[in-house]
Amino acid sequence: MELGPYILLASLEGAVTAAVLALTAVGLSLVFGVMRVVNIAHGEFFMLGAVIAWFVAQTVGGHPALGFVAALVIAPLVVGGIAAAADMTILKRLDYDPERTIVATIGLLYIIQQLTLMTYGPEARPVEAPFNQRLALPWFEWGEEGFEFYFPWGLSTTTYKLAVIVAAGVVLVGVWLMMARTRIGLLMRATQADRDMALAFGIPVERVYALVFGIGAALAALAAVLIVPIQQAHYLMGADPLLLSFIVVIIGGLGSLPGTVVAAIFIGLSDGIISVFFSPTLAKILATLLVGLVLVFRPQGLFGTRSS
């Protein structure tokens, strides 16, 4: 394969990563934005989504699409419920003190991860995609005989991967509509702007917090259900999404949703492309260093604006 098709292939793979990453990171960003809580257990909610998707697909049986659709509904609901319960039993009692909640969510990370290990086991298990046709992609070129059009070997994607990208886009628009156009979004934004003032105006801040924490976790679970037919469900799969979401949220500007999406696309695509040409470890080293330096020298993020 020549360089051009190769880059196209890498960006297609990168776009799938970016789509899933955007969903996961928006969940993390929402929680940080509204609650000022850094949720270290976010990656484990992602993992739970994938594992529950496997359980659901196993129980439903029949056509793969049936189980998948069921998982798409059930997994985010269950994970969101677990997260909301964790918020009400643990985080609320810590009074959302930033450092103590971080320690508590680290604890939560280990609890969820190890309970999954004890029940689900250490195996990686796949979920079958509802549809999965291979699509060969054409490549255009100006050759010696003018305009050429051919199908390079290996340049292909699947309908499922394209569907993941579309689905992620739809959900992101949904989140934006919820935040911008609905009453509950308004309550969230009010709580984000000034917690005490919101409380004074009779907004049930504690319930908003539980809801936001649940929605954040549900978004991660949804992203995991989408990716689980491509990757497999494994009890340690939460580490990478957590790290990448952190990178995205920080580069996008802490708590800024549009910045998060832009950064997710940027990081997802560049991760795909860099990993093709360089070692993935090197790509990760550069990304983590970048995050550290961004926080030190540009705490509002690369795309954010400095808020008061």
Partner 1 sequence: MSATAKSLTLHLGLLAVLLALQFVLPAYHHGNLARIMVLASYAVGYNILFGYTGLLSLGHALFFAAGMYGMGLTIQHAGFTPAPALIVGILAGAVVAAGLALLALRTTGVAFLIVTLMFAQAGYLTILYFGEYTRGDEGFVIQAFDRMLWGIDLSNPENRYFAAWGLFAVCLLICLRLVRAPFGKTLVAIRENEERVRMLGYNTFAHKLGAMVISGTISAAAGAFYGLLFGYAGASFASVQYSIFPLLWVLLGGAGTVLGPFVGTLFMFYLIDLSSGITTAYLLIVGLALVLLTLFAPQGLTGELRRRVWRWLP
Name residue 158's amino acid: T
Name residue 153's amino acid: W
C-alpha to C-alpha distance for 164 and 21, rounded to whole angstroms: 11
Which residues in the chain belong to E strands, given as ranges? 134-136, 139-143, 146-150, 156-158
- Listed residue (16, 18, 7, 4) closest to 277, CA to CA: 7
C-alpha to C-alpha distance for 36 and 255, rounded to whole angstroms: 8
Cβ nearer to partner 1, comparing 154 with 292: 292
Query: Of the listed pieces 66-74, 76-84, 104-112, 173-181, which binds partner 1 according to CB under 8 A?
Result: 104-112
Query: Of the listed pieces 8-16, 103-111, 178-186, 204-212, which binds partner 1 according to CB under 8 A?
Result: 103-111
Residues 218-277 that bind partner 1 (CB under 8 A): 243, 246, 250
Pick the binder of partner 1 from 232, 295, 302, 303 (CB under 8 A): 295
Task: Write down the residue that tokens 């009453």 correspond to.
Answer: 183
Contacts of residue 17, defined as CB under 8 A and 6 or more positions apart, other chains included, come to 268, 269, 271, 272
Tell me: does residue 63 bind partner 1 (CB under 8 A): no
How many residues sit close enough to partner 1 to count as binding (CB under 8 A)? 39
- Listed residue (191, 240, 197) closest to 211, CA to CA: 191
Pick the binder of partner 1 from 110, 131, 140, 151 (CB under 8 A): 110
Quick note: the x/- pattern for partner 1 over 79-98, rule CB under 8 A, is -----------x--xx---x
Tell me: does residue 302 bind partner 1 (CB under 8 A): no
- Give me the residues that bind partner 1 (CB under 8 A), please: 38, 90, 93-94, 98-100, 102-104, 106-115, 117-118, 243, 246, 250, 279, 281-282, 284-285, 288-289, 291-293, 295-297, 299
